[in-house]
Structure 1
Amino acid sequence: MTAQAAQTGQPLLSVQNLNIQIKMDNGIMNAVDGVDFEIHKGKTLGLVGESGCGKSLTSRAIISINPKECETTGDIVYHSDSEASLNRLNLLSLHPNGKQIRSIRGRKIAMIFQEPMTAFSPMYTIGNQLMEAIRIHRTKNKKEAKKIALEMLAKVGISDQEKRFDQYPHEFSGGMRQRAMISMALSCNPEILIADEPTTALDVTIQAQVLELMKKLQSEFGMAILLVTHDLGIIAQMCDEVAVMYLGKIVEQAPVKEIFANAKHPYTKGLLKSMPRLGGDKTKRLDSIEGTVPIPINMPPMCGFYDRCSDRIEGVCNTNAVPKTRITDQHSVRCFLYSDRQEGAAQ
């Protein structure tokens, strides 16, 4: 960032009123509805919620790789850390296949996908695919590109890099594919790393290694991370700030310690109660949130969590759109339990 941006705490990326609609046979699906958040240099923002809440669509919208069926509006403002010409660039204003977004995608903003087996092409070697990204964004020289690729494989803990460089994705284990995916994402020294469920398909031991690797590389490169997950244990370990997403909306956002110590939204409280704890009563069943995430098609103005919430207010939560309420300067929540409307209804 520029010296002025650093002094004012300007974010690297600012997402403002992001909406993603998908036309279905039976109506319009509001997959992402009015999402706002910021990502700062050297910090990790966790985007947490159940499957179907819109987390992946939100993260993919940043680099314009959602399907054509997704109609996206709002602002995704990117403040370049190094190029004055890109200062305050709205990424949604760029053509998804245009030269400018392609110069940012992979180079300035990189992504680790949820399943590396489908992200890598089975037709080409790991080394070939690593070199492709490096030759597009860093150097046209094949020898130099290969050297960088081998160095990145070593950085992510893959031994015998020369041999692995010439192997195909199916010859790698799940953990090794994930490490190779991380090496590809970091090969161009991005300013922002989007990690979409980076450890979902891994066993616990490999998961811990991958998370530790991401923290180490973040410290080394100074990049910001948007970590998309449904695992609050990973959030506690990795993140500085948490945005809890439900049915396309961010229902609560706060620093990670504040979320775990003073959660406000009933959905956030439900997620926290469902976490297993060391030393807990082994004979007692874990708490769970009853019901499932509804499909947001032709939704009336109401709280999306209404049907699953034990604290719902009849005649309020099911008849009005929920406003955002500030608990503190850094803690916001969308719930009538903390809004003026609820107080007025109670009186």
Structure 2
Amino acid sequence: MKQMRANKRSTEQPLLSVEDLKVTIQMDNAVLKAVDGVSFTIEKGKTLGLVGESGCGKSLTSRSIMSLNPKECETTGEILFNSSLDQKLKGLNILDLDPTGKKIRSIRGKKISMIFQEPMTALSPLYTIGNQIMENILLHRTKNKKEAKQIALEMLRKVGISDEEKRFNDYPHEFSGGMRQRVMIAIALACNPELLIADEPTTALDVTIQAQVLELMKSLQDELGMAILLVTHDLGVIAEICDEVAVMYLGEIVEKAPVHEIFNQPKHPYTKGLINSMPILGTGKQRLEPIEGTVPLAINMSHKCGFYDRCTHRIQGICDVQAVPETQVSSNHSVRCFLYNEHEEDEQNA
């Protein structure tokens, strides 16, 4: 019986499968490759962290899942959504849907929700907090305004906003940054989504509020059984909440592994650089080790490792003349780096 259950789990489809996702933007005299062949999966009830510096393509990747990229973006590849609650949505390729059509609008906000960046500007100043939470509920859960209000009040309680009856009628400018972030979470979770995309959910929050928001997300994940895609540049947040990590640089995922392997056995020089630039309490570490340089624009890129110009382990004549293939260093750990490429290992051993 145990063997049968194990087989059932192993053949279960992931909730979300992203395959060879590319997002390009046509410029005046060039093409910007903002996302270049990204692939990953998210299992039901698990949290995947997408980490990297600003400009690496994280937000465009996450917005592609919601079909919310600007019209200037050309998005190709596959984003397969395997709903466990709706058979009609099993194996659905989101990129096949009209971005403004009825089908995607029935998924967006209901099956897949998103906490957007910058809570200070994401809420409309013209409508009350309660009105903005109810909008999603009335669209996807019930047409009864009285019932929708009760659900909205319950969500305010769940996200830790006290005196919810009064705060329901307040406007965003009457809330602090941390409270607005909680409201954003309440809006995103009001329809019990199967997947929550959290784009920099703790940006500009002090560490106390940040800890409360992360704890809230974890407790609601346990209660609702949802999966989370956490987009951030903060490895401390990744360590706190994620099961798996995908490290993104210049539109590509350069390393993927379970969270404990990323921190204990990082492979890619960029991943190591991110970890070394983190302040770690109790270690006596006096100076941080920054990564020299900045992320370049992905325009007219030559066939070489995107991290070549900033890498302290680059191999001239190899890393600067060809694209880097993905290498499996273990069953669940992959990396794009010639230091772990079989061909390079053979040359070094010769």
Q: TM-score, normalised by structure 2?
A: 0.96
Percent identity (aligned) = 70
Letter in 2 for 1:126: I
Matching of residue 105 in structure 1 with residue 108 in structure 2? yes
Map of 2:339 onto structure 1: 337
Matching of residue 170 in structure 1 with residue 173 in structure 2? yes
Q: Out of 230, 234, 247, which is 1:231 matched to? A: 234
Q: Equivalents in 1 of 2:272, 2:327: separation in Å?
A: 17
The offset of 1:269, in angstroms, is 0.5
The offset of 1:308, in angstroms, is 0.3
Letter in 2 for 1:15: V
The offset of 1:111, in angstroms, is 0.3
Letter in 2 for 1:88: G
- Pairing 1:1-347 to 2, within 5 Å after superposition: 6=9, 8-281=11-284, 284-346=286-348, 347=350
The offset of 1:341, in angstroms, is 3.0
Q: Equivalents in 1 of 2:317, 2:36: separation in Å?
A: 23
Q: Equivalents in 1 of 2:77, 2:131: separation in Å?
A: 37
Q: Equivalents in 2 of 1:83, 1:324: separation in Å?
A: 34
Q: Equivalents in 1 of 2:152, 2:214: separation in Å?
A: 21
Listed one character per residue, the Cα deviations across residues 221-275 of structure 1 (whole Å, up to 9, x for unaligned) are 0000000011111111100000000000000000000111111000001111111
Unpaired segments ≥5 residues, structure 1: none
The offset of 1:314, in angstroms, is 0.3
Letter in 2 for 1:299: M
Unpaired segments ≥5 residues, structure 2: none
Q: How many residues were matched structurally? A: 344
Report which stretch shifted further, 115-124 or 172-181.
115-124
DSSP-derived class of the 1:85 partner: helix
The offset of 1:9, in angstroms, is 3.1
The offset of 1:63, in angstroms, is 0.6
- Runs of 4+ in structure 1 deviating by more than 6 angstroms, as ranges, are none
Listed one character per residue, the Cα deviations across residues 76-120 of structure 1 (whole Å, up to 9, x for unaligned) are 000011111111000000000000000000000000011122221
The offset of 1:277, in angstroms, is 1.2
> Cα gap change, 1:21/1:280 in structure 2, threshold over 3 Å: closer, same or farther?
same
The offset of 1:21, in angstroms, is 0.2
DSSP-derived class of the 1:327 partner: strand
DSSP-derived class of the 2:33 partner: strand
Q: Equivalents in 2 of 1:138, 1:5: separation in Å?
A: 32
DSSP-derived class of the 1:176 partner: helix
The offset of 1:344, in angstroms, is 4.8
State the superposition RMSD in angstroms: 1.3
Q: Equivalents in 2 of 1:232, 1:85: separation in Å?
A: 37
